[in-house]
Amino acid sequence: MAGTEEESAVKEPLDLIRLSLDERIYVKLRSDRELRGKLHAYDQHLNMILGDVEEIVTTVEIDDETYEEIVRTTKRTVPFLFVRGDGVILVSPPLRTAYIE
């Protein structure tokens, strides 16, 4: 029979996440947070356990004198992280963009 085809077939949206188990993924969260890490587990609410996680938090402040936006990014690395599903906006393979300076 078509065992391999059935296992890799995408029939529901969560099947895409199932195919990413034990792979690195990119997760965009509310409050301008981004995560990149290895997906170890998830559930139907998009609660996730990620390993070897890089978290990027972006904050925007307004300068009181010049009224210009000041954008700051803070990065940290976490060995294991539980992500609550109600804050998840997007899940995808990690972004592979080239930075040109």
The model's confidence at residue 1, banded by pLDDT at 50, 70 and 90, is very low
Provide the mean pLDDT of the chain.
88
DSSP 36-99: EEEEEEE-TT--EEEEEEEEEEEEEEE-TTT--EEEEEEEEEEEEEEE-GGGEEEEESPP----
Q: Quick one: which of 37, 56, 31, 47 has its CA closest to 84?
A: 47
What's the pTM value of the predicted model, to 2 decimals?
Answer: 0.79
Specify the pLDDT at position 8.
66
8 Å CB contact between 34 and 27: yes
CATH numbers and ranges of domains, the chain = 12-85 (2.30.30.100)
Q: Provide the pLDDT confidence category of residue 4 given band limits of 50, 70 and 90.
A: low
Which pLDDT does position 93 carry in this prediction?
84
63-88 average pLDDT score: 95
